[in-house]
Structure 1
Amino acid sequence: MINSENIPNGFFSSALKSGIKNNDYDLAIIKSEPSSVVSALYTQNKFQAAPIIFSKKNDKNKIDLLMVNSGVANSLTGKKGYDNVLNIADFASKFFKCKKENILTASTGIIGVHLDIEKIKNAIKKSSLNKGFDNIVKAIQTRDKFDKVYSTKLNIGDKIANFYAIAKGTSIIHPNMATVLLFIFTDLNIEKEALNKAFRVSIDKTLNRISIDGETSTNDTAIIMANGLADNKIITEKDKKSFKLLKNKLDEICANLSKMIVLDGEGITKTIIVSVKRAKTQKDAFEIAKSVAISNLIKILFISLSPNYEKILSTVGNTNINIKNLSLSVNGINIYKNGELNNNKSDINRLRESFNKERKEHSIILD
């Protein structure tokens, strides 16, 4: 959902064709005026890319500039890869008149390839920052088939805060983030500690709960920048009403972008939403849902249009979670309850019909 009225104030950007991806947009530059407080999360893969190592040193500071390139991941590139990030950041700091410590970077693309820093520097020289985010989403993409953009607003007291969010990702998608870049820009006025907590909770409930191929990457980055120009009373955790409104808004943004990522997954013909209700703990619920979501047995079940739903129970039974009084429904049809499979012919026929080729979205609910 994109609404031009929801563009946050104080952000200026440039989408550039540096030549890394031939004649496609491959460099996004976003400047915040005034500086933004930020919250940033990164892949938990042990081999973190050079731009992440650089950004982790700066994300406690207020941020003036975010630079994102696509086409080359600058991952597994050793000291030279990190030195290239420093070189580009130093050049950009002088060009855009900010400190290197107030810059964040992110990259996506081919692993093990060094950035062509001269191409990026030349593109920076030609850049012209404009209000808004024209083509920024295209500059962060690799194999995405459609743009992943979401804009919205939040009423805080008598003020309105605007949000503009973009993401990329089609493969190597799995909890703990994946080959995902996600950026949210807002003019909300918020304390950094409150932003950190709200953002982490939302990412945990959204980006960290999608899976396509069970793999995670070296470059995954999620960042939110808030520059305060909405001029609302600053949000803190103590302001429970406003803090809850923010958490709900971030859940909305991240959930919508996460679903877009899954729908754009490479080789995807169907999506399955797995819900677990009334587990003893959130951790148990997540472990059960994850075991179902990543099961090749269950993926084959839906791809082959075969309603052998007892295989779902087999997968759940392999978890280390103590399960009692389980009921299971697929596509809204209850098929297991009180220890017995549902053998009602009418229900079974409805389930079989729900597995048709045209249906793209399916649901599994474990209660």
Structure 2
Amino acid sequence: MSVGLEQPKSLIKVEGIRLSACSAGIYNKKRDDLALIEIAKDSVIAAAFTKNNFCAAPVEISKSNLQKANPQYCLINAGNANAGTGRVGVLNSKAICKELAKKINCIEEEVLPFSTGVIGEDLPVKKINQAIPTLIKNLSENSWLDVSKAIMTTDTMPKAISSQIKIDDSMINITGITKGSGMIKPNMATMLSFIATDANVTKEILDKIKQNSLFKSFNRITVDGDTSTNDSFILIATCKSKLPLIDNEDSKAFTILENEITEVCKKLAQTIVRDGEGATKFISIQVDGGNKISECLSIAYKVAESPLVKTAFTASDPNWGRIIAAIGNAEISDLDTSKINIYINDVCIVGNGERSDTYTEEKGKKVMICDEIVLKIELNRGNYSEQIWTTDLSHEYIKINAEYRN
């Protein structure tokens, strides 16, 4: 079940990136569940990871390895999160990095491990290590879609996008993949996301682009309010294009590249919400007229994560009382509720803090049956605006998560 989500179309290869996917037998059913991304030497990498205190072993290892070497490989498995596994989990992540390094003739610290799936179970090291030669043999510039399929868990379809932009006289390629459907409230990124460009940039510039693009994309989504133990975001610049080096954030080239990578991140982030577990609606929550960014986001998330609001959307029930209750629970100091207006698409349901004179239940129900809904909240107390994206909460979400380990 997904909302307005289509299978990825043809993806553009990025010079300096090769990928592969295969089955290591982590799942009981036959499917690809292991992937490898090879990164050209002299590439620049920016990364962000979960802020969950119970971060998974591969997150610990990846963060550590990034401090010691310039990564050349990302080794990704689905079906097992290797989280909540203690010292054994760390040793297991190191073991698969070591095996790949031995087979590929690089150092262990040049491998970044990533895992997604069931928490609390030991990583099947033997199965993964046995599949590594197949991964190496099948590396190709054209395997982005294969990898996007291999890293899926409860996702109903792969999530990938490509873009091309022209900067000066150079054509720049950008391709990204992501996965995620449940346990979604990133506090830096998403479940797993890998984006590559052939742009020629410095490490400082790529870090700036990462920070700004995450702030406007993956850090603006929530499905169920739960931040994963394994969230990881990797942004790679292979520096293979003929474009002159971008080393100044005040340059036109920086602005063009940052805007395009941000758009790619937004679209990828939205695919996660559109494919949210059990989702029947894609909901944009826009909060306007706040005193500061933080209060706009506080209200947006209170509404987005209210089970009462979410289930009302599932039922296509314009129960606006639940919305104002959620807004009131955002703990915004000196909030004048008499100034608040609320719209569902183009229907005003609340005006000046009370039921709008123009509102009728018939109008409310008509817009609530839409698959895609914009809920706009006007605070009328400042000049800041923020938008986040979320889903409803259906019976299917409960079924998926109740049966997750069966």
Decide: shared fold, TM above 0.5: yes
SS in 1 for 2:106: coil
Instruction: Tell which deviates more after alignment, 124-133 or 160-169.
Output: 124-133
Matched, 1:11 2:22: no
2:77 corresponds in structure 1 to 69
The whole-number CA distance in structure 2 between the counterparts of 1:111 and 1:339 is 44
Change (3 A) 1:178 1:241: closer
The whole-number CA distance in structure 2 between the counterparts of 1:238 and 1:265 is 35
SS in 1 for 2:36: strand
Query: 1:177, CA displacement in angstroms?
Result: 5.4
2:290 corresponds in structure 1 to 279
Change (3 A) 1:89 1:140: same
2:269 corresponds in structure 1 to 258
1:87 corresponds in structure 2 to 95
Q: 1:202 aligns with which of 189, 201, 213?
A: 213
Change (3 A) 1:132 1:34: farther
1:344 corresponds in structure 2 to 358
1:152 corresponds in structure 2 to 163
1:161 corresponds in structure 2 to 172
Give me the identity figure in percent.
35
Matches of residues 204-243 of structure 1 in structure 2 within 5 Å?
204-243=215-254
Query: 1:57, CA displacement in angstroms?
Result: 1.2
Instruction: Tell which deviates more after alignment, 201-210 or 174-183.
Output: 174-183
Query: 1:179, CA displacement in angstroms?
Result: 6.7
Matched, 1:51 2:67: no
Matches of residues 175-186 of structure 1 in structure 2 within 5 Å?
175-176=186-187, 180-186=191-197
Q: Aligned letter for 2:12?
A: N
Q: Aligned letter for 2:51?
A: Q
Instruction: Tell which deviates more after alignment, 195-204 or 230-239.
Output: 230-239
**Over residues 160-219 of structure 1, what are the superposed CA-to-partner deviations in whole Å (9 max), with x where a residue is unaligned?**
121111111111111415871111122111111111121122222222221111212211
In structure 2, stretches of 5+ residues that fail to align are: 1-6, 379-406
Change (3 A) 1:349 1:260: same
In structure 1, stretches of 5+ residues that fail to align are: none
1:189 corresponds in structure 2 to 200
Instruction: Tell which deviates more after alignment, 96-105 or 2-11.
Output: 2-11
Q: 1:109 aligns with which of 90, 94, 117?
A: 117
**Over residues 315-353 of structure 1, what are the superposed CA-to-partner deviations in whole Å (9 max), with x where a residue is unaligned?**
2122222434322211221233334431225x6532221
The whole-number CA distance in structure 2 between the counterparts of 1:112 and 1:287 is 32
2:329 corresponds in structure 1 to 318
Indicate if the aligned counterparts of 1:270 and 1:303 stay in contact, CA closer than 8 A: yes
Matches of residues 279-318 of structure 1 in structure 2 within 5 Å?
279-318=290-329
CA RMSD of aligned residues (A): 2.0
Q: Aligned letter for 1:326?
A: I
Query: 1:108, CA displacement in angstroms?
Result: 0.5
The whole-number CA distance in structure 2 between the counterparts of 1:122 and 1:254 is 34
Change (3 A) 1:5 1:232: farther
The whole-number CA distance in structure 1 between the counterparts of 2:275 and 2:362 is 30
Instruction: Tell which deviates more after alignment, 336-345 or 206-215.
Output: 336-345
Matched, 1:118 2:126: yes
Q: Aligned letter for 2:109?
A: E
**Over residues 199-249 of structure 1, what are the superposed CA-to-partner deviations in whole Å (9 max), with x where a residue is unaligned?**
122222222221111212211111111110013122234343222222211
Instruction: Tell which deviates more after alignment, 177-186 or 52-61.
Output: 177-186
**Over residues 285-331 of structure 1, what are the superposed CA-to-partner deviations in whole Å (9 max), with x where a residue is unaligned?**
11111111111121122223222324322221222224343222112
1:34 corresponds in structure 2 to 41
The whole-number CA distance in structure 1 between the counterparts of 2:157 and 2:302 is 29
Query: 1:6, CA displacement in angstroms?
Result: 2.6
Q: 1:365 aligns with which of 376, 379, 384?
A: 376
The whole-number CA distance in structure 2 between the counterparts of 1:132 and 1:248 is 25
2:345 corresponds in structure 1 to 331
